Amino acid sequence: MNAYQRRPEVELYDVRKDPFELKNLAGGPAYKQIETKLRQQLESWMKQQGDLGIETEMAAKTRQERR
């Protein structure tokens, strides 16, 4: 269960070879280019959506309905 409580910042899996996502490949030298490309795509998408990352997450509290 500890794996689910403390997830790493970056995760990258080969879902064909590892369908249960047990071996995180992130950080390995063989995957640096893939990680860079995926991070660039994510940042581009976030910019398009107006997502400022943690700033957007923290501001969400002010938009939630109080019960």
In the chain, what are the domain boundaries? 2-63
What H or E segment, with its residue span, contains residue 65?
none
Alpha helices in the chain (DSSP H): 2-5, 32-49, 54-63
Query: Is pLDDT larger for residue 55 or for residue 1?
Result: 55
What letter represents residue 42's amino acid?
Answer: L
pTM for this model (two decimals): 0.69
Read off the pLDDT of residues 13-49 as tens digits, 9 standing for 90 and up.
999 999 999 999 999 999 999 999 999 999 999 999 9
Nearest to 9 by CA among 21, 24, 20: 24
Query: Is pLDDT larger for residue 23 or for residue 5?
Result: 23
CA distance 2 to 29: 26
Q: Is the per-residue pLDDT at 2 higher than 70? A: no
Query: Is pLDDT larger for residue 21 or for residue 60?
Result: 21
CA distance 11 to 9: 7
Q: Helix, strand, or coil here: 59?
A: helix
